[in-house]
Amino acid sequence: MNQPKKLNTPSVAPIKCSQCPIRHRAVCARCDDDELEILESMKSYKTYAAGDVILWRGEPLEFVASVVTGVATLSKTMEDGRTQMVGLLLPSDFIGRPGREQIEFDVTATVDVTLCCFDRPRFESLVCETPHIAQRLMELALDELDAARDWMLLLGRKTAREKIATFIEMLARRSSHGQDGSKDVIDLHMTRDQIANYLGLTLETVSRQFSALKKDGVIDFSDRKHFTVEDIAALQDETGDDADGGVVY
Amino acid sequence: MNQPKKLNTPSVAPIKCSQCPIRHRAVCARCDDDELEILESMKSYKTYAAGDVILWRGEPLEFVASVVTGVATLSKTMEDGRTQMVGLLLPSDFIGRPGREQIEFDVTATVDVTLCCFDRPRFESLVCETPHIAQRLMELALDELDAARDWMLLLGRKTAREKIATFIEMLARRSSHGQDGSKDVIDLHMTRDQIANYLGLTLETVSRQFSALKKDGVIDFSDRKHFTVEDIAALQDETGDDADGGVVY
DNA sequence: ATGATTCTTTGATCTGTATCAAGGCAAAAA
DNA sequence: TTTTTGCCTTGATACAGATCAAAGAATCAT
């Protein structure tokens, strides 16, 4: 076992949960000071430029991490180049699979990304000894699974218009910092081509659907990467989802 | 807490792991006799006829279970009736989400199904106290997640022919009881319509692709629900996946 | 058995999205 | 500033798979 001993740093103020980036997804909401200090001791930050590949499929996983800033994508590619994104990592999302040595997809930064990384072996020994963290990681895995299944419905059955509406609605919900958030300027972060790969479309279709939604007054673009939702009700109608929600993403 | 005490049944032979259906996915491979006996005490069998809905979306989960015989599907349905299957449960697969009160999809028996059910609250207290079971459930969740992501690539980017080939290849792999297994008669278990809902196609397209693969000598149908793989190499070529595999399902 | 029902196959046609192609715009480089 | 470069938009056309339609098997009920 190589989990760190409690460090002797009395002059340093106790580490606050707010300083523990993994808390972004509440992993350590229930951590005590000792556990937080252990996390702190194995923590380091890594940054990646837009376009950098963070992890290649099959590469050994040396760390687990949470996204502090930026956006990264999980994607699978076929021999002939067809690509499908299988996940989107926004700030507070977690990278890593408890007990897995490697991942089955590429992780790529779409804009500059900062990760808060934890040494994997040390993180895993902490997890082994801390059931509430293990439990939280299980919740994260099940959330991802629910999101993946919602996306399967989108990929298999939704029209291009519904796909785009769903995507925009998800971005609006996930990036709204306000309580209402309906008129925030939202950053797309991705190119039309990347969005197409996420939605199982081509970049031309993405562009056309954006134009159509703009023409219909549902959204408005300030520039190519920034838009506002002008009619949230219409947007939700277009997604094809039940009004009541229950969708995770 | 309401986990059962160890039962006093000395006249009964020790419960073998082979009698514990959940072991189908090796959940209790590392269980000791006490744990097995606890599992045994909370176990019951339920059967469902073909077409029965086992669980409705949103319904409270009263048990977790593993499939003993039969095939069940996980599916999501849109308001207008469009349906997408998001998972397929074959014998040995597990139903249930540690820590979740309900599920986000319907579970339906496509043929007669027997489940081995465990009372959920009692199962969860056992899990809480048995880290190696918790760890195994995490592995199962991550396996499902990998499978879901492979299916996203299929739904988003594969052609109808590739989808059908992938589906057949998966069935061949999962239902081969022999070591080689390439010429076993494989049971389809599902109607063309259900297959279509699994692959994001229509039933007519499924039928046409089956006919085409038969005409090309890749597979052969003995009747509508039973086929053999005549040319496994050709089948794998048609899936669009890397030759090396790495696919989970 | 026999008729009813449900599933499957196959054909004809339609359509949503992909593909091909050509400019347009904005940020970066010269 | 001008040029280059990388995205993006829009139009024209093609095509894979959906939809519509009808006839054939298989299964079920009586």
pLDDT higher than 60, residue B223: yes
- The pLDDT, as a whole number, for residue A201 is 98
Whether the pLDDT of residue B88 is over 80: the answer is: yes
| A102-161 pLDDT tens trace | 999 999 999 999 999 999 999 999 888 888 888 889 999 999 999 999 999 999 999 999
CATH class in words for A159-239 = mainly alpha
Mean pLDDT of the residues in chain B: 85
Q: Which of A199-208, B117-126, B236-245 has the lowest mean pLDDT?
A: B236-245
What is the ipTM for the molecules in this complex?
Answer: 0.89
Contact between B91 and B68 (Cβ < 8 Å): yes
Q: What would the mean pLDDT of B73-100 be, rounded to a whole number?
A: 93
| pLDDT, average across residues B48-70 | 92
Q: If pLDDT is split at 50, 70 and 90, which confidence band does B27 have?
A: low
- Core vs surface per residue B32-59: b (16+ CB within 10 A) or e: eeebbbbbbbbbeeeebeeeeebbebee
Model confidence band, residue B92 (pLDDT cutoffs 50, 70, 90): confident
Question: Which residues in B lie closer than 8 A to residue A150 (C-beta atoms)?
Answer: 76, 104
Q: Which of A42, A45, A60 is nearest to A97 (CA)?
A: A60
CA distances from A175 to A212, A220, B202, B222 (A): 23, 16, 36, 54
Range from A31-35, A59-63, A137-141, B227-231 carrying the lowest mean pLDDT: A31-35
Q: What integer is the mean pLDDT of B49-58?
A: 94
Q: Are A228 and A183 in contact (CB under 8 A)?
A: yes
Map A56-96 to HEC letters. Answer: CCCCECCEEEEEEECCEEEEEECCCCCEEEEEEECCCCEEC
Yes or no: say if A190 and A112 are a contact pair by the CB < 8 Å rule. Answer: no
Secondary structure (DSSP) of A15-64:
PPGGG-GGGGGTTTTT--HHHHHHHHHTEEEEEE-TT-EEE-TT-B--EE
Q: Within 7 Å: CB of B226 and strand C?
A: no
- Return the bridge partners of B216, or none: none
Question: pLDDT over 90 for what percent of chain A?
Answer: 63
What is the DSSP-derived secondary structure letter of residue B23? G
pLDDT of A9 over the 80 cut: no
Q: Nearest chain A Cα to B241, which residue?
A: A78
Span CA (A222) to C1' (C26), Å:
13
Provide the pLDDT for residue A92: 85
Confidence class for position A34, pLDDT limits 50, 70, 90: confident
Domain map of chain B by residue range? 17-153, 159-239
At which residue do the structure tokens 């972060």 appear?
A189
Residue B38 has pLDDT above 90, yes or no: no
d(CA B181, CA B172): 8
Structure tokens of B242? 């890397």
Mutation to test the A interface, candidates B130, B153, B161, B201, most A Cβ within 10 Å: B153
What pLDDT score does A32 carry? 77
What is the three-state SS of A100-116?
Answer: CCECCCEEEECCCEEEE
More confident residue, A162 or B100: A162
Residues 135-174 of A with CB under 8 A from B: 135, 137-139, 141-142, 144-146, 148-153, 155-157
| CATH H-level, domain B17-153: superfamily | Jelly Rolls (2.60.120.10)
Q: How far is the CA of A149 from the C1' of D19 (A)?
A: 27
Q: Minimal Cα distance from B157: which residue of A? A: A200
* A112 Cα to chain B: minimum distance (Å): 25
